[in-house]
Chains A and B, each alone.
Chain A
Amino acid sequence: MRSEERLGWALSLPGLAVISAIAVFPIGWTAWESLHVHDLRMPWLGRPFVGLANYAEALSSPRFWDAMAHTAVFTAVTVTVELIGGLFLALIVDRISRGRDLVRTTVLLPWAIPTVVVALVWRFLFENPAGLVNAVLFRLGMSSPTWFADATAAWVPLMLADAWKMTPFVAVLLLAGLQSIDRSLYEAARIDGAGWGRQLTALTLPLLRPALLVAFIFRTLDAIRVFDVIYVMTGGGPGTATEPIALLTFSMLLQNLRFGFGAALSMIVFAVTFVLAVVFIRVLGRDALTGRVA
């Protein structure tokens, strides 16, 4: 037993060391950096210690609170749409017997292609004034908003693109959950006279709860760090009307080169994710870590 203990550590240490060096150590560095003024455009200022001044600046800036609100709304809407859409997609795919492979490939494609490509394709579909969506709306006799110049309408293609890419991912997770449900339960329910709706609410949804929970957690943690799709499609615009917290942080770091302030924003993003992750892991329970089906 002792030698197994030693071997266990020996085999896992290289991997853990790499993860610690490149992921955990930088978080500590970010925390330290966030307590300083460090402006790469003004190297003569040095890197003076300023305590919590960067955090105070962030918390008193309207642009910060706007970015937080944008992130929250984006997360709430897309996660809701993707869970409902994914459930619907999983339910209809679950029932088909022929052409399963074709269906699976089709469902996986949007998830697998680069987010940058997804963002550009949807930008192209909604492009003003002659994109496909506008052309279709025009034929139907409807006027279309100036999508990317409108602070509210710009969210529509953004959220649609995200939902188009990630709903299939949710469906794949839920499909695995559905296929682990014992079919004879439905047989029994049918004999008891339960209709389609009753089977869904009394049987499928409760049994699908773990899979739904996992999908919800994955999507939420992913959506609150949204960056790629917004950077490419709207650049956070018009103005800063669609700017999420990750994009604000990126601009402060690599465009304004304000590393101290950017690090403070990074720490806030990290803290929010961390708290949510801890809550979620609690909800999932220890089973997820010890290998029993969650």
Chain B
Amino acid sequence: MNVSRLLRVLGVVTVLAILLFPLYWMVTSSFTPEARIFGEPSVIPRTVVLDHYRALFGGRDFWRPIRNSLVVAGATTAVSVGLGVLCAYALARLQFRGKTVMLAFILGVSMFPQISIVSPLYLLLRELRLINTYPGLVLPYLTFAMPLTIWLLVGFFRQLPAELEEAALMDGAGRLRTLREIILPLAWPGLATAAILTFLYCWNEFLFALSFTLGPERYTVPVAIALFRGQYQVPWGEILAAAVVATLPVALLVLVAQRRIVAGLTAGAVKG
């Protein structure tokens, strides 16, 4: 009994170590002097320097892609939650013809491969002079953010008890007032989850940002990191420092909201 328990604990620890090791290696290497990054590997770092982080925020002005990513991901999240909450409430709680078709439509759009709409979006944004602008990223981002948000929120609205709503309706409150005063206060954990997941997807998005930005002034964090170039060789120290910086907000969100994220992922997937 005790032996099998010990084995299980050992198994869990090993698996977790495997999962975490690449991240650990990224962090320690980002604090290692460039000349020793590919030296004798050692699990515990021998020298710790901040050179790469100084170069990142000094020479490269990495604040700029961070600002771009925050603006684009924040705006996309706000728009898709704002519009999505009404749509999702109707789809989850109201009875009307065409509802099932709409849900199928939204699910279908969420399965669209991004690459298949890059060319028309590029031509459209060029026509509107929106290439290399913030709206020129927010609009394409809505193509995946809206279906995702709506799908998650429909799942959450369905879980709310119908009785409260019915009581409010009996008392003569209209549907919209019920939504505002009864449903939304109850649904805020769902709203927070949808917002967090949408923000994560936007923060990590790469293909659209690569396609619709032209220079460092509008690069988002993933594009800025992917296009890092040194003068003579790959600047691994700075790349890894940037990778750590790009991971930090995500790690924080996961730490704070892991329960919600899991609930959102499984509500969106398992429960349809």
Q: How far is the CA of A176 from the CA of B262 in the complex (A)?
A: 9
Chain A residues in 8 Å Cβ range of B147: 19, 23
The stretch of A75-83, A199-207, A285-293 in contact with B is A285-293
Interchain CA distance A283-B197 in the complex, whole Å: 27
Closest Cβ of chain A: how far from B64's Cβ, in Å? 17
Q: Are B87 and A11 in contact (CB under 8 A)?
A: yes
Taken together as a complex, chains A and B put the C-alpha atoms of A290 and B114 apart, in Å, by: 27
Mark the stretch among B44-52, B119-127, B160-168, B187-195 that contacts chain A.
Answer: B119-127
Given A4-B175, A11-B90, A11-B94; A273-B29 close (CB under 8 Å): no
Nearest CB on B from A251, distance (A): 11
Size of chain A's interface in residues, with CB distance under 8 A? Answer: 99
Tell me the smallest distance from the CB of B160 to a CB of chain A, in Å.
Answer: 12
- In the bound complex, CA of A277 to CA of B109 (Å): 10
- Does B130 sit within 8 A of A, measured CB to CB? no
Would you call B246 and A172 a contact (CB within 8 A)? no
12 residue pairs from A and B, CB less than 8 Å apart: A11-B89, A16-B105, A24-B109, A27-B120, A96-B8, A108-B261, A173-B266, A228-B207, A249-B118, A253-B211, A270-B112, A273-B111
A120 and B243 within 8 A (CB):
yes
Determine which of A12, A26, A108, A172 lies in contact with B87 in the assembled complex, contact meaning CB atoms within 8 Å. A12
**Once the chains are docked, how many angstroms separate the CA of A29 from the CA of B121?**
9
Complex alpha-carbon distance, A269 and B114, angstroms: 10
Chain B residues with CB below 8 A from A116, complex form: 204, 206, 222-223, 225-226, 246
B111 contact set on A, CB distance < 8 A: 221, 273, 277
Shortest beta-carbon distance from A125 to chain B in Å: 6
CB pair B265 A15 closer than 8 Å? no
Q: Are B262 and A254 in contact (CB under 8 A)?
A: no
Contacting pair B262 A253 (CB below 8 A): no
B3 CB–A CB distance under 8 Å: no
Q: Is the CB of A281 within 8 A of B104?
A: yes
A269 and B115 contacting across the interface, CB-CB below 8 Å: yes
A263 within 8 A of B: yes
B117 / chain A contacts, CB cutoff of 8 Å: 23, 26-27, 30, 266
From residue 33 to 49 of chain A, which have CB atoms closer than 8 A to chain B? 33
Pair A121/B118 contact, Cβ less than 8 Å: no
Q: Mark B137-148, 1 if CB is under 8 A from A, else 0.
A: 001101100110
Cα separation A116 to B26 with both chains bound (whole Å): 13
Docked pose: A33 CA to B121 CA in angstroms: 12
Q: Is the CB of A214 within 8 A of B269?
A: yes
Q: Say whether B86 contacts A176, CB under 8 Å.
A: no
Complex Cα distance A44/B206, Å? 32
Tell me, yes or no, whether A95 is within 8 Å of chain B by CB: yes
In the complex, which range does the number of interface residues on chain B fall in? Answer: 35 or more
If A19-B146, A259-B119, A263-B119 touch, whether A8 touches B90 (CB-CB below 8 Å) is yes
Other 4 A-B pairs with CB < 8 A, given A29-B123, A273-B111, A293-B270: A8-B94, A26-B117, A106-B19, A120-B226
Q: Are B22 and A164 in contact, with the CB atoms below 8 A?
A: yes
Which residue of the partner chain, among B121, B142, B258, B269, contacts A104 with CB atoms under 8 Å? B258
Task: Name which of A12, A29, A168, A286 has the most chain B CB atoms within 10 A of its CB.
Answer: A12
Q: In whole angstroms, what is the CA distance A164 to B176 when docked?
A: 45
Q: How far is the CB of A90 from chain B (nearest CB, A)?
A: 11
A-side contacts of B41, CB under 8 Å: 132, 135-136
Report B-chain residues with C-beta under 8 Å of the C-beta of A33. Answer: 119-120, 123
Which residues of chain A (205-259) have a CB below 8 Å from chain B? 210-211, 214-215, 218, 221, 224-225, 227-228, 231-232, 246, 249-250, 253-254, 259
Q: Determine whether the beta carbon of A131 is less than 8 Å from that of B38.
A: yes
B150 in contact (CB, < 8 A)? yes
Distance to closest chain B CB from A210 (angstroms): 7
- Output the nearest chain B residue to A29 by Cβ-Cβ distance: B120
Residues B265 and A105 in contact, CB atoms below 8 Å apart: no
Asked if B119 and A23 sit within 8 Å, CB to CB, the answer is no
The verdict on A195 contacting chain B, using a C-beta distance below 8 Å, is no
Nearest residue (CB) in A for B95 is: A4
Question: A232's closest neighbor in chain B, by CB?
Answer: B226
Contact A113 B247 (CB under 8 A): yes
A104-121 at interface with B (beta carbon < 8 Å): 104-110, 112-117, 119-121
**Residues from chain A with Cβ under 8 Å of B204 in the complex:** 112-116
A176 to B261, CA, bound (A): 12
Contact indicator B239/A120 (Cβ below 8 Å): yes
A120 and B246 alpha carbons, distance in the complex (Å): 12
- With A173-B266, A176-B262, A291-B158 known to touch, is A12 a contact of B90 (CB < 8 Å)? yes
Interface residues of B in 68-112 (CB under 8 A from A): 83-84, 86-92, 94-100, 102-109, 111-112
Write out the residue numbers on chain B whose beta carbons fall within 8 Å of the beta carbon of A269: 113, 115-116
Indicate if B186 sits at the interface (CB-CB under 8 A): no
Set A105, A228, A263, A270: member contacting B255, Cβ < 8 A: A105
Is B20 close to A, CB under 8 A? yes
- B12 close to A93 (CB less than 8 A): yes
- In the complex, residue of chain A having the shortest beta-carbon distance to the beta carbon of B90: A11
Contact B118 A253 (CB under 8 A): yes
Q: Are B116 and A107 in contact (CB under 8 A)?
A: no
Asked whether any CB of chain B lies closer than 8 Å to the CB of A122, the reply is yes
